[in-house]
Homo-oligomer: A and B are copies of this chain.
Amino acid sequence: MKCADMEWLGHPDCLDCIVRYNAVLAELDLASYETLLRSITKEHLPAKSLLYVQNQPSSDLFVIREGVIKLEETKADGSVRIVRLLQSGDVAGLEACIDNGQGYDQSAIVLHGANVCKIPYRLFDKLAKENSSFINNIMKTWYKQLNASGRVIIEFSTGSVRDRVARVLLYQAEASRKRGSAEIEMLSIKDISALTSVAYESISRVMADFKRDGLLVKSGPYRMKYKWAGLNALVNHQAV
């Protein structure tokens, strides 16, 4: 589905999305906008589809609008690890653009369905050359995102299993809160396992505890309601 078909130009959603989340395009004049927006496609991707594959030559970057995307990295020894989770507003595949289409660092996999905007690398590159502050802003945003998510990953990889799972849930909850929702889109137990480096059976046990304690209540397929305060207390080792 082409942007033009969607009346992207001036589409409040789009402007809001790109400008707000990347704070990048504010300085471009409208003509540049038009060029930019017309070659962006808006796509719906079903569960388990691939945005891109690790090491493959890169041609696009993506802005996530809805849903959760996991970035999986396969190491030399064949083990797979989720190194980041992307949600609404996050950008996927920028590393490849920065590196001139040399290849993606990870594979990007849709969890339970997602809406994304696909931006051709060529466009990105052109825009970067025409407007030098564009790439500076992108880089700053990207740096912050990378830095923040790096910290998150460390938190998912340390502490007791209980703490780790609680932190993953809180991370999910935080994103859902921003969208004004009281539900989270559940990661599968195996995904949480790949994210935390914990055996999936152990995750299952902890999740069962959380449900017993009423911290989590299933509210639909792949959906759960959560108790923010309770999870927070867990992570900070306080009484509820």
Check A77 for interface membership: any CB of B closer than 8 A.
Answer: yes
Docked CA distance A42–B32 (Å) = 45
Docked CA distance A151–B136 (Å) = 24
Docked CA distance A234–B140 (Å) = 39
Using an 8 Å CB-CB cutoff, how does the interface string of A45-89 with B read, 1 for contact, 0 for none?
Answer: 000000000000000000000000000010001000101000000
> Which residues of A, 73-126, contact B by the 8 Å Cβ criterion?
73, 77, 81, 83, 95, 98-99, 105
Q: Given A150-B153, A157-B157, A158-B157, are A143 and B98 neighbors across the interface (CB < 8 Å)?
A: yes
B158 A150 Cβ-Cβ under 8 A: no
Number of identical protomers: 2
Docked CA distance A202–B225 (Å) = 40
Docked CA distance A229–B125 (Å) = 42
Check A142 for interface membership: any CB of B closer than 8 A.
Answer: yes
Question: Which residues from B are CB-within-8-Å of A139?
Answer: 98, 135-136, 139, 143
Docked CA distance A142–B95 (Å) = 12
List 10 A-B pairs, Cβ < 8 Å. A73-B151, A83-B154, A98-B143, A136-B139, A139-B143, A143-B143, A150-B153, A154-B154, A157-B197, A159-B197
